[in-house]
Amino acid sequence: MSAKIQKTDAEWKALLAEKGAERGAFEVTRQAATERPFTGKYEAVWTDGSYHCICCGNQLFDAATKFDAGCGWPSFSEAVPGAITEIVDRSHGMTRTETVCSQCGAHLGHVFPDGPTDTGLRYCMNSASLDLKTN
């Protein structure tokens, strides 16, 4: 996948610092790390608005699609059409579907086919990859 927005590691680090991103945001978004469950700032937030990529501002999810999956990470039933690219992830001895921002390639999390709504999906995201814009 070739992201539309490309920067050096130093540029991403500076941008994330300027935005006041969570500790570990560079490792999560640019190196596909995963934050520990129940530690992210958006895991238990239920505010109206929309969730955007912390790196480039691309709108990813409407807050109305967020639900409590009990897994320790913010979970959504539906992404904004075209906002996310899915990639087969065979790391850690598993086969999963990784989600990345379609604009800048930031690692967001994974999507699983076990969601409780009619989409059947659970977009399990790292808080460190998200920026909530309230209404």
User: Is there a contact between 67 and 43 (Cβ–Cβ < 8 Å)?
Assistant: no
Residue partners of 35: CB distance under 8 A and separation at least 6: 22, 24, 28, 73, 126, 127, 128
Sheet strands (E) in 55-135? 59-62, 66-67, 75-76, 84-89, 96-101, 107-112, 122-125, 130-134
Active-site hit among 56, 101, 104, 124? 124
Q: Does 124 qualify as catalytic in the annotation?
A: yes
Q: Tell how strand 49-53 and strand 59-62 pair up.
A: antiparallel
Residue 125: name the closest of 111, 114, 113 by CA: 111
Q: For the beta carbon of residue 105, count every other beta carbon within 10 angstroms.
A: 20
Residues with a known catalytic role? 124
